[in-house]
Amino acid sequence: MTDQVPVTVLTGYLGAGKTTLLNRILTENHGKKYAVVINEFGELGVDNDLVVDADEEVFEMNNGCICCTVRGDLIRIVAGLMKRREKFDGIIVETTGLADPAPVAQTFFADEDVKRAAKLDSIVTVVDAKNLAARLADSREAEEQIAFADLILLNKMDLVNAEEAAEVERRIRAINPWAEIIRSTKSDAPVTSVIGRDSFNLEKILEREPDFLSGEDNHSHDTEVLSVSFKVENPIDPERFNAWITQLLAAKGQDLLRTKGILAYANDDRRFAFQAVHMLADGDYIRKWRDDEPRHSRIVFIGRDLNRPQLRRGFEACQVGAPSSNYEAELTRWSPPS
């Protein structure tokens, strides 16, 4: 069935570098066009805005885990894409960092319409070399993502030494001895080594999961991990935000698996993308605000033991015009004891 569209599934735990890899695929000059499906964990989408502007069609699903409540959405999107098959060369599915890839892969075998139209080309798992040991200790999904990969992008190599890197690879090999491992920093692997691999091995998957083709969804999720999201209308004061988020991450960084936001700074016509993994934060301007889009600021926290009212008050206090007393109170809340 040579007319089947190849599908690459990008997976990996929160903050491993999936979106960075996706942006590389969409911007490098490889002569291919892709339809992109992005799944988020939480009620307020941000990942779609973190993907670079490109000609590709981007579909966002933020109803929950792609392997549970939105599998029907994935099937419908693939069916819709087939009506304009000539406009793209492949499909890329970026899963939420909390997704078990097994049911995602099942979709391309269990649904007959999808099976006829699409072919699972590869499952690419991005792994955070610095934090993998912690993730394997507290997340079953992290192990499953490695187990189902046929390519593992061992990312953030600049944050580990040679001994730590060797130990990370040993841990990976203990879970999945067959996958190819490519080391990278900032997901800088050659795009040709990631896309168009034709490397998904069903036989190896069946060795690990004999019931893989049954279509059964027997997986579960870490119920302690929650997502809270906030949106504010007024511009953000960058000094207030930087001070607040710095102290928040210092105090709660171990519980904050992933923080990401699109911010409208005061007196600036550019969108600022903020991202953090635990206490390690980064941010940059990504493009100008378009005239037809509202300049709202949005932020998403994914982690454990999250206090929604406190986080909401802190973010709201970073707005221009918010009472100074409110901001000072929220800043003090996360200040280290003297």
Contact between 279 and 253 (Cβ < 8 Å): yes
Contact between 38 and 51 (Cβ < 8 Å): yes
Q: What is the rounded distance in angstroms from the CA atom of residue 250 to the CA atom of residue 281?
A: 11
Residue 96's identity, in one-letter code, is T
Identify the pLDDT of residue 118.
Answer: 87
Q: What is the rounded distance in angstroms from the CA atom of residue 107 to the CA atom of residue 71?
A: 7
Residue of 234, 232, 280, 291 lying closest to 257 (CA atoms): 280
Q: What is the rounded distance in angstroms from the CA atom of residue 309 to the CA atom of residue 93?
A: 33
Identify the pLDDT of residue 224.
Answer: 67
Contact between 13 and 137 (Cβ < 8 Å): no
Q: What is the rounded distance in angstroms from the CA atom of residue 31 to the CA atom of residue 45?
A: 29
pLDDT in tens, the chain (338 residues): 457 889 999 999 888 888 889 888 888 887 888 888 876 544 444 444 544 444 445 555 444 444 444 467 677 878 888 887 888 888 888 887 777 777 777 777 777 888 888 888 988 999 999 999 988 888 788 888 888 888 999 999 999 999 999 999 999 988 888 889 999 999 999 888 898 888 886 666 666 666 666 555 555 555 566 778 889 999 999 999 999 999 998 888 878 877 888 899 999 999 898 878 778 787 888 889 988 888 999 888 877 888 889 999 999 999 999 998 888 888 888 776 54
Identify the pLDDT of residue 208.
Answer: 63
CA angle 48, 81, 1 (to 5 degrees): 130
Burial class for 180, CB neighbours closer than 10 Å (0-12, 13-18, 19+):
middle
* Cβ-Cβ contacts under 8 Å for 210 (sequence gap 6 or more): none
Q: What is the rounded distance in angstroms from the CA atom of residue 70 to the CA atom of residue 56?
A: 21
Q: What is the rounded distance in angstroms from the CA atom of residue 333 to the CA atom of residue 338?
A: 13
Radius of gyration of the chain (CA): 20
Identify the pLDDT of residue 158.
Answer: 95
Identify the pLDDT of residue 293.
Answer: 86
Contact between 206 and 292 (Cβ < 8 Å): no
Backbone angles phi, psi at 61, to 5 degrees: -125, 115
Q: What is the rounded distance in angstroms from the CA atom of residue 140 to the CA atom of residue 36?
A: 26
